Amino acid sequence: MKKAHWILSVLLGAGVLTSAWAQQKAAEKSLYERLGGEPAITAVVEDFVGRAAADPKVNFFRDGKFKGLDVARLKRLLVAFISQATGGPQKYTGRDMKETHKGMKIDHWEFEALSADLAASLDKFKVPAKEKKELLAIVGTTRKDIVEVKSEPGPGSAY
């Protein structure tokens, strides 16, 4: 009888621990929430797109090939992309990254410059280091689908 009681106690204890762990996880905020939700992400995107468009290292308009780019739509899509990728409610409805950037001949250094511009925008809005690192890591996962031109990373590059 004692053995059965002990097993029942262990199982109940595990259930309590599992329940406590699940409650703790549920209480943790998503990256989307920690970034400040849609208003904060929209502000960062607004700054970032302007910064990247003005950065010759990014070559945002691809040497004039994308002069008619619908920048307002791009910003909406970026907000939705970041929202979805960070646990927010918006859903990204644009084309996948590979299809979107196909033929743009983006190289490693242009992607690096774009990432640096995003980091600068995050810094401007005083996004904490942990959240900045997490978001930049998410953006980094798109590199393989965006970079088409093979170029050698320089010394000290993380890539």
CA separation, residue 63 to residues 49, 92, 150 (Å): 17, 27, 19
pTM: 0.77
> What pLDDT digit, counting tens, does each position of 88-131 carry?
999 999 999 999 899 899 999 999 999 999 999 999 999 999 99
Q: Which CATH class is domain 30-146?
A: mainly alpha
Give percent helix, percent strand, percent coil of the chain, each to the nearest 5.
Answer: 65, 0, 35
* Token pair for 128: 């904490």
What's residue 159's pLDDT? Answer: 44
- Mean pLDDT along residues 127-143: 97
Q: Among 111, 140, 100, 125, which Cα is nearest to 37's?
A: 125
User: How many of the other CB atoms lie within 10 Å of CB of 88?
Assistant: 19
Ramachandran sector of residue 156 (left: φ over 0; alpha: ψ -120 to 50; beta: rest):
left
